[in-house]
Amino acid sequence: DLCHGDPEECFFFIPRQKSEAHGGRPKRLTATGYWKATGSPGSVYSSKSNRCIGEKRTMVFYNGRAPNGQKTDWKMNEYKAIKEEEASSSSGAYPK
């Protein structure tokens, strides 16, 4: 239902893992490989108020186990909502 008929674009919503909720790194492992974050996270802004409402991180899938996995063509964007207090406590009105 969340793909709206487009097999190339799907959205999945998952709760945060306990380790991630307490400041740890998220585990992005699967039975056949792992997702590795690439580049710097970007900011996501509200279209109505132009306020920062989250972060976007691009990830690439690797077959096998780290650090010897083989990079594939599979890419995914991970979006993370941020709380209003976190956005306003950053330096300046909006995070860079």
**pLDDT of 64:** 94
Residue 22 reports pLDDT greater than 70: no
pLDDT top residue among 38 and 11: 38
**pLDDT of 63:** 96
Q: How far is CA 96 from CA 39, 54, 55, 59, in A?
A: 14, 12, 11, 20
**pLDDT of 60:** 94
Find out whether the peptide bond into 67 is cis, omega within 30 degrees of 0.
yes
Residue 55 reports pLDDT greater than 60: yes
**pLDDT of 48:** 86
